Amino acid sequence: MLENGSDILTGIVLAGGLSSRMGHDKTRIHVHGESEPDLLVYTCNLLASVCSEVWVSSREAKPHADGYLWVKDEIEGTGPIGGIMTSLRAAQGPVLVLSCDLPFMDSAMLQKLISFWKQKPEGTLHTTFLQEETGFIEALVSIYEFEALPLFEQAVDRGIYKLSRVVPEEHRHSLPYSQQESLPFFNVNYPADLEMARRIIAAI
C-alpha cells in the first residue's frame, strides 16, 4: 500500500467485462507474446509496481492471477461503476483503478498520476488523466477517494452506469496529456485492436 500521510492507496484491476466485442475472454490474451503474462496478470503486476496491495474486481473468480485477491461485484450488470463501488466499500480508502485491457500502460504513467494525486486540492474525489484535444477523461485509469462512494451508490440507484458521469467536474483533479502521449491509453476491445497492438509491439 502506498502511504501519503494518512492515505492508503489500493490497486484495483477492473476485469469484470464480458469481452463480447473481442469474442473471447480478453483477460487471457497474450499481447506481448505467448511467453509473456496475459493481460490480466500484466495489469496486476503493473499495479503491484506502484501499490503493495492489488485486487482483481470481477463478476467471477479469475484463478490464473495467482497471489491477487478477488473482489466480487456486489451488484452485477452495472459495469465498472459496480466494481469500483464494491472496491471502495471494501478498501475503506482511495483506490487506483486500472482497466485490464491496456497493454501499453506503464509504471511511469501511473507514478505520474500518483504524484499528481498527492497534490490534489481539498474536495477532490476523482484524480484522472484528461485528453487535451478532446476533453475526454480516462475514467478507467483513475484514483477515486473513499468519499466518492455515495456518488457511486446514487448513480447505481438512478440507473446511471456511465463512469465519467459519477463524479462532478468540480470534484475532479485532471492531469492533461496530449494525443502524442496517448499510447498508454490504447485499449484492446476488438480483434482489430489486438492486431494493431501486436503490430505496434513488433515495430518498437
DSSP string covering 83-108:
HHHHHHHHHSS-EEEEETT-TT--HH
26 is in an annotated binding site: yes
Residue spans per domain, the chain? 2-203
User: Is there a contact between 85 and 45 (Cβ–Cβ < 8 Å)?
Assistant: no
Superfamily covering domain 2-203: Spore Coat Polysaccharide Biosynthesis Protein SpsA; Chain A (3.90.550.10)
15 is in an annotated binding site: yes
In the predicted structure, residue 1 carries a pLDDT above the cut 70: no
In the predicted structure, residue 97 carries a pLDDT above the cut 80: yes
Tens digit of each residue's pLDDT (9 = 90 or more) over 118-174? 999 999 999 999 999 999 999 999 999 999 999 999 999 999 999 999 999 999 999
User: Is there a contact between 97 and 12 (Cβ–Cβ < 8 Å)?
Assistant: yes
Tens digit of each residue's pLDDT (9 = 90 or more) over 40-61? 999 999 999 999 899 999 877 6
pTM of the model: 0.91
Stated as kind and residue range, the H or E segment containing 197 is helix 191-203
- Return the number of other C-beta atoms located less than 10 Å from residue 166's C-beta: 24
In angstroms, the CA 147 to CA 151 distance is 8
In angstroms, the CA 179 to CA 97 distance is 22
38 is in an annotated binding site: no
Per-residue pLDDT at 24: 55
17 is in an annotated binding site: no
Q: For 75, phi and psi rounded to 5 degrees?
A: -125, 115
